[in-house]
Amino acid sequence: MKERRIRSRLLALVAVLTLGGLWGCEREAAVEDDGAGLEGGELVFSDDFSEGLGDHWSTGFDGWEVADGVLTVEGARNDALWLQQPLPEQFRVSFTARSDSEEGDLKFEIAGDGATHESGYVGIFGGWNNRLNIIARLDEHGDDRHVGAAGQTVEPGRTYQMDVVRTDHRLRWYVDGELFLVYDDPEPLRGEGHGHFGFNNWNSPVTFGEFQVFDVGR
């Protein structure tokens, strides 16, 4: 009987490890948070889009437009609008975002090369027809993307406050002041080729505004 119990426990452990391997590809984002960098820091760049895009931004898609102090786009198909000024080593990037479609799909890239889709982390709120929220590293379809904020979908016409913070190995994303998703990266994307922020879009009509970058290491 004792040997049978031991064997049963071993089989159960193997089953758990096997299922964990199958399900562990897309991980629910961690929810632990100390709030570091969410406030304070030195403002190093801001844009209220009151004077157009100017030389600070670069894109290959001419559908990125500024009107009435907000940035609008539809159908960019991952041709992001990249900020050419590099981010600080420790940063907080803040902006507002709104979708005017049931598709949702509020999207940004960060720690990228300033020109190329999936050159850094990709954050998506309400992706894939408002069904999925993710942070991905170098591949938004990759097995190591973090999926979370279950049940939260983008409300059409609602303006959200976004804050994306990195003070250590974690990339933390806040929506309306609440922790939304975390990517805990043992090998953070830093240095050459990983210093820029980009607004992104696939197809739905979206609006961004009130953009700010803070150096939270000062």
Q: Which tens digits make up the pLDDT trace of 87-105? A: 999 999 999 999 999 999 9
Query: Which residue ranges form the domains of the chain, and what is each CATH number?
Result: 32-215 (2.60.120.560)
pLDDT digits (tens, 9 = 90+) for 137-192: 999 999 999 999 999 999 999 999 999 999 999 999 999 999 999 999 999 999 99
pTM score, whole prediction: 0.86
* 183 three-state secondary structure: strand
State how far the Cα of 76 lies from the Cα of 68, in Å rounded to an integer.
Answer: 20
pLDDT of residue 45: 98
Question: Rounded CA gap, 39 and 103, in Å?
Answer: 31
- pLDDT > 90? residue 5: no
Residue 174: closest CA among 94, 106, 66: 94
Q: What angle do CA 218, 88, 170 make, to 5 degrees?
A: 90
Tokens 């939304």 correspond to what residue? 180
User: For residue 86, is pLDDT > 50?
Assistant: yes
Cα–Cα distance, 170 to 190 (Å, whole number): 12
What DSSP state is assigned to residue 84? -
Question: Which candidate, 182, 183, 198, 91, places its Cα nearest to that of 137?
Answer: 183
d(CA 200, CA 75): 10
SS3 track for 100-138: CCCCCCEEEEEEECCCCCCCCEEEEEEHHHHCEEEEEEC
Among 114, 132, 136, 140, smallest CA distance to 185 is for 136
pLDDT in tens, 14-70: 333 333 333 334 555 445 677 899 999 999 999 999 989 989 999 999 999 998 889
The predicted structure's pLDDT at residue 148: 96
Q: What pLDDT digit, counting tens, does each position of 103-138 carry?
A: 999 999 999 999 999 999 999 999 999 999 999 999
What backbone phi and psi angles, to 5 degrees, belong to 55?
-85, -5
Confidence at residue 26, expressed as pLDDT on a 0 to 100 scale:
58
pLDDT at site 31: 53
- Average pLDDT, stretch 61-86? 96
Q: Which helix (H) or strand (E) holds 4?
A: helix 2-23
